[in-house]
Amino acid sequence: MDSPPDPRKNLLLAALPAEEWARWQPELEPVTMPLGQVLSESGRAMTHVYFPTTCIVSLLYVMEDGASAEIAVIGNEGLVGISLFMGGETTPSRCVVQSAGEGFRMSGQALKQEFSRSGPVMHLLLRYTQALITQMVQTAACNRHHSLDQQLCRWLLLSLDRLAGNDLVMTQELIANMLGVRREGVTGAALDLQRAGLIRYHRGRITVLDRPGLEQRTCECYAVVRREYERLLSAPLVP
């Protein structure tokens, strides 16, 4: 028999102290998150927050003409739905499953109650929010100042950090939508990385062959984001 899904594959849930974890367990519902599922739309309040374990969710800003660009990726390090406990209720971004997998969800009301206790949960979620904001800011700077080749490397590395293996199931069209560029540009950049022996791309599947090579080729934005997540989410919880 298959073992039941483990919520503590999500690093935020794994960081909860024993007392908080005991309260949270009954509130967590396992969910399957297929590729392309929309978890929230721009301007609409979410009813649940999501804790990915084996999937990746993209936060996309969608323009009036339908064009979009990714502003952050969320995987097993975090949660989808910070607006519910930050007080804004809605955001102008769309949340879409970028890489299919599993996760857990919790009602927004239950999370608000936990946040309002002003204990370890509040400190943990605020630190995560700061890390997520860092990623958003760095993404905006990267998209403005760095080459498509560097952006693609950054995007691949951030995605790998949130998955167990070295494979990504992703079409070039979807990558282009995430990066806010033309598909032809992604094709050229992916071929360059393949010729350099860093990745293998075939029929929508990207396999990273040389992660250190990708890290050398990308810009400083990836390291800035990773260091901030490590700094903020590895610190002891304040009681």
* Together in a domain, 208 and 168: yes
* Sign of the torsion formed by the C-alpha atoms of 230, 217, 56 and 60: positive
Q: Give the DSSP H or E segment for 74.
A: strand 68-74
Average confidence (pLDDT) over 166-171: 77
* Together in a domain, 29 and 108: yes
Distance, first Cα to last Cα, the chain: 39
Q: Cβ atoms within 10 A of the Cβ of 142, count? A: 22
| Amino acid, single-letter form, for residue 120 | P
How far apart are the C-alpha atoms of 72 and 95, rounded to whole Å?
Answer: 10
Distances, alpha carbon 185 to alpha carbons 171, 191, 232, in Å: 13, 10, 35
Is the CB of residue 114 less than 8 Å from the CB of residue 81? no
* Together in a domain, 110 and 191: no
Whether 3 shows a pLDDT value over 80: the answer reads no
* Together in a domain, 45 and 128: yes
Average confidence (pLDDT) over 74-103: 88
Lowest mean pLDDT among 42-46, 129-133, 141-145, 177-181: 177-181
How far apart are the C-alpha atoms of 177 and 174, rounded to whole Å?
Answer: 5
Final residue belonging to a domain, choices 142, 160, 189: 142
- CB neighbour class for 113 (10 Å; exposed up to 12, middle 13-18, buried from 19): middle
Distances, alpha carbon 150 to alpha carbons 34, 74, 143, 193, 230, in Å: 28, 20, 9, 10, 22
**Joined tokens for residue 118:** 């002003």
* Together in a domain, 189 and 122: no
DSSP 166-187: SEEE--HHHHHHHHTS-HHHHH
Whether 179 shows a pLDDT value over 60: the answer reads yes
Report pLDDT digits (tens) over 12-35: 999 999 999 999 999 999 999 998
pLDDT band at 110 (very low <50, low <70, confident <90, very high): very high
Q: What is the CATH number of the domain that holds 201?
A: 1.10.10.10
* Domain total in the chain: 2
Domain hosting residue 214, numbered range: 147-218
| Amino acid, single-letter form, for residue 2 | D
Rounded to two decimals, the pTM is: 0.89
Arithmetic mean of pLDDT over the chain: 87
